[in-house]
Protein backbone atom coordinates (compact mmCIF):
# COMPACT_ATOMS: atom_id res chain seq x y z
CA UNK A 1 0.00 0.00 0.00
CA UNK A 2 1.15 3.51 -0.77
CA UNK A 3 -0.12 5.88 1.91
CA UNK A 4 -0.13 9.65 1.66
CA UNK A 5 -0.18 11.03 5.19
CA UNK A 6 -1.27 14.65 5.47
CA UNK A 7 -1.50 16.96 8.44
CA UNK A 8 -4.53 19.26 8.42
CA UNK A 9 -4.11 22.78 7.11
CA UNK A 10 -3.29 25.81 9.24
CA UNK A 11 -6.22 26.34 11.62
CA UNK A 12 -7.31 29.06 14.02
CA UNK A 13 -5.83 27.31 17.07
CA UNK A 14 -2.48 27.20 15.24
CA UNK A 15 -2.77 30.94 14.69
CA UNK A 16 -3.69 31.40 18.35
CA UNK A 17 -0.60 29.46 19.42
CA UNK A 18 1.57 31.75 17.28
CA UNK A 19 0.05 34.80 18.94
CA UNK A 20 -0.38 33.60 22.54
CA UNK A 21 1.70 30.44 22.94
CA UNK A 22 0.53 26.92 23.74
CA UNK A 23 -2.07 28.17 26.23
CA UNK A 24 -4.20 29.07 23.19
CA UNK A 25 -4.91 25.35 22.68
CA UNK A 26 -7.29 25.62 25.63
CA UNK A 27 -9.07 28.83 24.60
CA UNK A 28 -12.82 28.11 24.23
CA UNK A 29 -12.98 29.89 20.87
CA UNK A 30 -10.59 27.32 19.39
CA UNK A 31 -12.70 24.29 20.31
CA UNK A 32 -12.74 22.00 17.26
CA UNK A 33 -10.97 24.77 15.34
CA UNK A 34 -11.59 25.41 11.63
CA UNK A 35 -9.03 26.27 8.94
CA UNK A 36 -7.91 29.85 8.46
CA UNK A 37 -8.17 31.32 4.93
CA UNK A 38 -4.41 30.75 4.63
CA UNK A 39 -4.93 27.12 5.65
CA UNK A 40 -7.62 26.67 3.00
CA UNK A 41 -5.44 28.21 0.27
CA UNK A 42 -2.40 26.09 1.13
CA UNK A 43 -4.47 22.91 1.27
CA UNK A 44 -5.90 23.68 -2.18
CA UNK A 45 -2.35 24.24 -3.52
CA UNK A 46 -1.25 20.85 -2.17
CA UNK A 47 -4.34 19.24 -3.68
CA UNK A 48 -3.54 20.75 -7.07
CA UNK A 49 0.06 19.48 -6.89
CA UNK A 50 -1.25 15.92 -6.36
CA UNK A 51 -4.37 16.21 -8.51
CA UNK A 52 -3.58 13.21 -10.73
CA UNK A 53 -3.05 10.71 -7.92
CA UNK A 54 -5.86 8.14 -7.92
CA UNK A 55 -6.74 7.41 -4.29
CA UNK A 56 -8.55 4.15 -3.69
CA UNK A 57 -9.41 5.05 -0.10
CA UNK A 58 -9.46 8.23 1.96
CA UNK A 59 -9.51 8.40 5.76
CA UNK A 60 -9.87 11.53 7.88
CA UNK A 61 -10.09 12.51 11.50
CA UNK A 62 -13.62 13.79 12.25
CA UNK A 63 -12.23 17.07 13.60
CA UNK A 64 -13.56 19.97 11.53
CA UNK A 65 -10.10 21.12 10.43
CA UNK A 66 -9.36 17.65 9.05
CA UNK A 67 -12.75 17.39 7.33
CA UNK A 68 -12.16 20.80 5.73
CA UNK A 69 -8.61 19.84 4.72
CA UNK A 70 -9.81 16.60 3.16
CA UNK A 71 -12.63 18.33 1.31
CA UNK A 72 -10.48 21.14 -0.13
CA UNK A 73 -7.74 18.67 -1.04
CA UNK A 74 -9.95 16.18 -2.87
CA UNK A 75 -11.89 18.89 -4.68
CA UNK A 76 -8.67 19.37 -6.68
CA UNK A 77 -8.15 15.65 -7.22
CA UNK A 78 -9.17 14.29 -10.61
CA UNK A 79 -8.63 10.67 -9.62
CA UNK A 80 -10.78 10.84 -6.51
CA UNK A 81 -13.64 12.50 -8.30
CA UNK A 82 -13.68 9.74 -10.91
CA UNK A 83 -12.91 6.64 -8.85
CA UNK A 84 -14.31 7.11 -5.39
CA UNK A 85 -16.71 9.28 -3.47
CA UNK A 86 -16.37 7.91 0.07
CA UNK A 87 -14.35 9.55 2.83
CA UNK A 88 -14.13 7.42 5.95
CA UNK A 89 -14.17 9.54 9.10
CA UNK A 90 -12.47 7.70 11.94
CA UNK A 91 -12.15 8.56 15.64
CA UNK A 92 -8.91 6.56 15.71
CA UNK A 93 -7.27 9.42 13.75
CA UNK A 94 -8.05 12.12 16.33
CA UNK A 95 -5.52 13.86 18.55
CA UNK A 96 -5.49 12.77 22.23
CA UNK A 97 -8.83 13.48 23.89
CA UNK A 98 -9.11 15.84 26.82
CA UNK A 99 -5.60 17.33 26.73
CA UNK A 100 -6.54 20.44 24.76
CA UNK A 101 -9.90 22.09 24.01
CA UNK A 102 -8.95 22.46 20.34
CA UNK A 103 -8.75 18.66 19.98
CA UNK A 104 -12.37 18.00 20.86
CA UNK A 105 -14.86 17.37 18.08
CA UNK A 106 -18.51 17.97 17.43
CA UNK A 107 -20.99 15.31 18.49
CA UNK A 108 -21.67 12.81 15.73
CA UNK A 109 -25.21 14.07 15.13
CA UNK A 110 -23.92 17.63 14.76
CA UNK A 111 -21.19 16.44 12.37
CA UNK A 112 -23.73 14.58 10.27
CA UNK A 113 -25.72 17.80 9.90
CA UNK A 114 -22.64 19.82 8.90
CA UNK A 115 -20.59 17.71 6.49
CA UNK A 116 -23.22 16.97 3.79
CA UNK A 117 -22.74 20.58 2.74
CA UNK A 118 -19.18 19.64 1.76
CA UNK A 119 -20.67 17.94 -1.35
CA UNK A 120 -18.99 14.57 -0.76
CA UNK A 121 -20.08 11.32 0.84
CA UNK A 122 -18.74 10.71 4.32
CA UNK A 123 -18.79 7.35 6.09
CA UNK A 124 -19.57 7.84 9.80
CA UNK A 125 -19.39 4.18 10.83
CA UNK A 126 -16.16 4.74 12.81
CA UNK A 127 -17.36 7.90 14.56
CA UNK A 128 -18.88 7.27 17.99
CA UNK A 129 -22.25 8.74 18.89
CA UNK A 130 -21.23 9.64 22.43
CA UNK A 131 -18.02 11.64 22.33
CA UNK A 132 -16.89 12.80 25.77
CA UNK A 133 -14.41 15.64 25.40
CA UNK A 134 -13.71 15.54 29.14
CA UNK A 135 -12.02 12.14 29.04
CA UNK A 136 -8.24 12.51 29.16
CA UNK A 137 -6.54 9.78 27.15
CA UNK A 138 -3.25 8.28 28.23
CA UNK A 139 -0.35 7.97 25.79
CA UNK A 140 -0.90 4.22 25.84
CA UNK A 141 -4.51 4.58 24.68
CA UNK A 142 -3.47 6.91 21.86
CA UNK A 143 -0.76 4.43 20.82
CA UNK A 144 -3.40 1.69 20.79
CA UNK A 145 -5.63 3.78 18.51
CA UNK A 146 -2.73 4.26 16.11
CA UNK A 147 -1.95 0.54 16.09
CA UNK A 148 -5.65 -0.33 15.66
CA UNK A 149 -5.82 2.01 12.66
CA UNK A 150 -2.74 0.35 11.11
CA UNK A 151 -4.29 -3.09 11.60
CA UNK A 152 -7.59 -1.90 10.08
CA UNK A 153 -5.75 -0.58 7.01
CA UNK A 154 -4.04 -3.92 6.55
CA UNK A 155 -7.37 -5.74 6.86
CA UNK A 156 -9.45 -3.41 4.64
CA UNK A 157 -7.04 -2.44 1.88
CA UNK A 158 -5.35 -4.22 -0.99
CA UNK A 159 -1.58 -4.22 -1.37
CA UNK A 160 -1.71 -2.03 -4.48
CA UNK A 161 -4.13 0.55 -2.98
CA UNK A 162 -3.20 4.23 -2.85
CA UNK A 163 -4.54 5.79 0.34
CA UNK A 164 -4.86 9.30 1.77
CA UNK A 165 -4.88 9.74 5.56
CA UNK A 166 -5.59 13.21 7.00
CA UNK A 167 -4.85 13.61 10.68
CA UNK A 168 -3.10 15.74 13.31
CA UNK A 169 0.42 16.59 14.42
CA UNK A 170 0.70 14.28 17.43
CA UNK A 171 -1.19 11.36 15.83
CA UNK A 172 1.11 11.50 12.80
CA UNK A 173 4.19 11.82 15.02
CA UNK A 174 3.14 8.72 16.95
CA UNK A 175 2.39 6.77 13.76
CA UNK A 176 5.90 7.33 12.44
CA UNK A 177 7.42 6.64 15.85
CA UNK A 178 5.60 3.29 16.05
CA UNK A 179 6.32 2.32 12.41
CA UNK A 180 9.91 3.56 12.05
CA UNK A 181 11.17 4.14 15.59
CA UNK A 182 11.50 7.87 14.89
CA UNK A 183 8.66 10.39 15.13
CA UNK A 184 8.20 12.87 12.29
CA UNK A 185 7.17 16.49 12.90
CA UNK A 186 4.69 17.46 10.19
CA UNK A 187 4.02 21.10 9.40
CA UNK A 188 0.47 22.09 8.46
CA UNK A 189 -0.68 20.67 5.09
CA UNK A 190 2.53 18.66 4.71
CA UNK A 191 2.27 15.32 2.93
CA UNK A 192 4.62 12.40 3.50
CA UNK A 193 4.39 9.10 1.59
CA UNK A 194 5.22 5.65 2.94
CA UNK A 195 4.82 2.10 1.69
CA UNK A 196 3.07 -0.31 4.06
CA UNK A 197 3.05 -4.06 3.50
CA UNK A 198 0.01 -6.10 4.48
pLDDT under 50 in the chain at which residues?
A: none
Q: What pLDDT score does 84 carry?
A: 55
Q: Which pLDDT tens digit goes with each residue over 84-131?
A: 567 899 999 999 988 899 998 888 888 888 876 555 678 888 998 877
* Burial (CB count within 10 angstroms: exposed 0-12, middle 13-18, buried 19+), residue 130: exposed
Q: What pLDDT score does 118 carry?
A: 54
Which secondary-structure segment (H or E) carries 124?
Answer: strand 121-126
Q: What pLDDT score does 81 carry?
A: 59
Domain count, the chain: 1
Contact 69, 93 (CB under 8 A): no
SS3 155: helix
**CATH code for position 60:** 3.40.50.1240
* Burial (CB count within 10 angstroms: exposed 0-12, middle 13-18, buried 19+), residue 76: middle
SS3 18: helix
Helix axes 64-74, 37-49, angle to 10 degrees: 40
Q: What pLDDT score does 191 carry?
A: 97
C-alpha pair distances (Å), 154 with each of 71, 125, 131, 145, 195: 24, 18, 26, 14, 12
Q: What pLDDT score does 89 carry?
A: 94
Q: What are phi and psi of 2, to 5 degrees?
A: -105, 120
Separation between Cα atoms, residue 16 and residue 94, nearest integer Å: 20
The parent domain of residue 46 ranges over 2-195
Q: What pLDDT score does 39 carry?
A: 97
Q: What pLDDT score does 125 carry?
A: 87
Q: What pLDDT score does 120 carry?
A: 61
Amino acid sequence: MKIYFMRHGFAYHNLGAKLYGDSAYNFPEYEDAKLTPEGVDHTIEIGKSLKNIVFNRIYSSPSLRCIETTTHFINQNVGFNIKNKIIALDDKLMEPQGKHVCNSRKDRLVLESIVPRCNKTFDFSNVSFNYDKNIVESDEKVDKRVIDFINNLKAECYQDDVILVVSHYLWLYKFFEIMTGVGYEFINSEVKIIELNK
